[in-house]
Structure 1
Amino acid sequence: MPKKPDSDVFPGLDQRARDLLAAVIREHIATAEPVASAQLVRNYHLDVSPATVRNELAALEERGLLTHPHTSAGRVPTDLGYRYFIESLMPMAGLRPEEQVTVSHQFQQALTDTGAWLRVAASSLARLTAEASLVTPPSAKRAALKHLEVVPIHERRVLLVVVLEGGAVRQQVLELGTATTSEHLHALSARLTDSLAGANAATMQHHLGSEKGADADVVRALVRILEEQDAFRARELYVDGFQNILAQPEFAQADRGREMLSLFEDHTRLAEILPLDLGAGEVHITIGREHRHESLRDCSLIVGRYGADGDVIGFVGVVGPTRMDYARSIGAVRYVGSLMSDLVRVMEGQ
């Protein structure tokens, strides 16, 4: 996941430039059209001439915060302009109290059904933000080993019985590169269970260098099993509000709409945009060309992590055009995420 620009790269702006940048962004979010200087003077009752505003906008463009379509004299924000707005100019994010009550009531009605409150989360985010929403079920941050049994079958063929933290069991038949004894396999099972209990795929990959022969074959297979488990779990996504994206003028062209539909139908590819290292209570925002996927280069993603105090976590987020209402979307993601965290705590008996 590309990192957001460091705040040190933001240009220093005086108050009038900051106010004009915020005004351009608000107008563009509302209208989806380039914003002209005369429009700003009229709508914001500025006590300067359109020519003065035009010069200020040109200076903001030189600083990389605005740009203008070649067919228009008006300006639109750049990705850096949106980032500056979020970091420095955006009003406090939040939902209205009555909206919070409504959403909370819907979650309470779905309290006993995990699938139901995941669907409520996705539909609530789509409705509150008018964007597309993404929600993943709660699960361990990374698949991790709890217990291992290596069972001999025939000569170099063994059966791996892998118990993961959380209780899931995976079995795999493995051909070893070298023959070994039943006694060695029994001892290997005990040793790896003792030394690798709680380890995820990355930890095991690091440990692999200390193993040789058949032992290395087993650890290598464990790495694959845990990676496959992580990938399978990442494909579990609840998506809602795709029609909201299609209703945006940025996606009016049929080819662009089909491209976004292809992305949303491919849950494996969609899950790759989730920031798995996100901390508790954090919100991650990716804007435009900060995305790795070409199909998202004119979109923004806002993702929050939810979960209990332990390792059980999930993600809630919204995707829409870079011209989105960031304050409202961030507030919605945070609030729905907090409700999801409360439900996970109830589920775990906390």
Structure 2
Amino acid sequence: MLGIKTRDVLNTLVTEYIQTGLPVGSHRIARKPHIHVSPATIRNKMAELEDTGFIIRPHISAGGVPSAKGYRYFVETLDDAAEPSPGLKRRVKSSFGEVQPDVEEWMDVASSVLSDLSENMAIVTYPKTTLPRIKHVQIVRIHEFLALLIVVLEQARLRKHVIPLEEPYNQQDLEAITNKFNFAYRGLNRREILEKTYELTPFEELVKKDTLDILEEDEDQGNIMHSIDGLGRLLSQPEFERSQYAQEMSELFHNNLLLRYIVSKISKSDKVLVQIGEENTDERLKPFSVVFSQYGMSSGATGVVGVLGPTRMNYVSTICNVRYLSSYMNDLVSSVQ
């Protein structure tokens, strides 16, 4: 937990760096009216922030630059109740009023408006049916050192996988594990299973992993309808002027890798989620931050509204805009069900 003065120095440094893209020195922070300490004290606070990993310095005499940890602290201290501006509300209402009441048209409007507002790339996906859920699991002994994992998904879809046995199991043992899994995981999707914690044996952990792999593979099947706007804006950011980023973005769009990654991170929460730089598990996304939220239908189908940008994005306005657009989309799709 940072002290109040240290927190104020960090948040001011993050805000300044987002605006300018330049390392922030102690004198610039000291000029801010809400900072009531000397440049010398600020330098001490910045040294503390560097030692604890909240900021980095390009070289010893330079100002500070936020790390992923620094951005994370900044985001976590933002006001969740921040209201969208009247101008944003008017812009959204006007833009959506110009198109037919159709989800695909709304997606295009939402991505266009969000890209304009954020000056980054916006992504909106079509509401997709709920993630695959387990209806029943069965483990059948087929050899002394082999078992067959059968996962029955909802809508009677069947998936099978052969599991090696490091020690002999009889069918009675496997039935006991089957019953344990059905009791623990029946009716759950992959993310809900990951949230559950149970004491499992090494073999049961292997069964769980294979079950999760089956669910993930089923999630990945089929295309994700989407609308994207602002790729050019994203690649024109100073951080992404090198051609390597265009190649990486091309790879992420191939086979909907980016969309699947974002959809996989959505939980049942209606909160705006933020993945910052190094927090992204896909190496190609580590230079980026993703701000996204879900919207949905009463049928359980959910879509995503989000922004992809540099870690040096304006989190305050982007989070507010994503929250408002996802809520607005939620109301729209509910009205046509």
**TM over 0.5: same fold?**
yes
Computing the radius of gyration over CA atoms, which structure comes out larger, 1 or 2? 1
For residues 36 and 257 of structure 1, do their structure 2 counterparts lie closer, same or farther at Cα, with a shift above 3 Å needed? farther
The answer to whether 1:13 aligns with 2:9 is no
Offset of residue 293 of structure 1: 1.1
SS of equivalent to 1:245: helix
Q: 1:328 aligns with which of 317, 331, 335?
A: 317
Q: Residues of 2 paired with 1:261 and 1:90: CA distance?
A: 35
- For 1:327, the aligned partner's letter is V
Distance 1:51 1:343 in 2: 53
Of 237, 243, 254 in structure 1, the residue corresponding to residue 232 of structure 2 is 243
Partner of 1:137: 126
**Two-structure CA RMSD over aligned residues (Å):** 3.5
Q: Partner letter of residue 257 of structure 2?
A: T
Larger deviation, residues 12-21 vs 66-75: 66-75
Aligned to 1:312: 301
2:273 to 280, 284, 297: 284
Distance in 1 separating the partners of 2:92 and 2:78: 28
Structure 2 residue runs of 5 or longer lacking an equivalent are 136-153, 158-185, 191-212
What letter is aligned with 1:341?
Answer: N
CA–CA separation in structure 1 for the residues paired with 2:240 and 2:285: 12
Change (3 A) 1:54 1:319: same
Distance, in Å, in 2 between the alignment partners of 1:136 and 1:103 is 18
User: Which residue number corresponds to residue 242 of structure 2?
Assistant: 253
The answer as to whether partners of 1:94 and 1:330 remain within 8 angstroms in 2 is no
* Superimposed CA distance per residue, residues 14-68 of structure 1 (whole angstroms, 9 cap, x where no aligned partner): 2111111111000000001110112222344755432322111011111211111
- Quick one: which amino acid aligns to residue 15 of structure 2? R
Other structure's SS at 1:140 match: coil
Deviation of 1:334 after TM superposition, in Å, equals 1.0
CA deviation vs aligned residue, 1:206-256 (integer Å, no higher than 9, x gap): xxxxxxxxxxxxxxxxx98x9777424453221111112112111122223
State the match for 2:71 in structure 1: 82
TM-score normalised by structure 1 residue count: 0.69
Cα shift at 1:281: 1.8
3-state SS of paired residue (2:270):
coil
Name stretches of at least 5 consecutive residues in structure 1 with no aligned partner.
Answer: 1-11, 147-163, 171-197, 203-222
Aligned to 1:110: 99
Instruction: State the Cα distance separating 1:111 from its structure 2 match.
Output: 4.1
The answer as to whether partners of 2:30 and 2:38 remain within 8 angstroms in 1 is: yes
Q: 1:344 aligns with which of 327, 333, 337?
A: 333
Superposition map of 1:55-204 within 5 A? 55-70=44-59, 73-89=62-78, 92-142=81-131
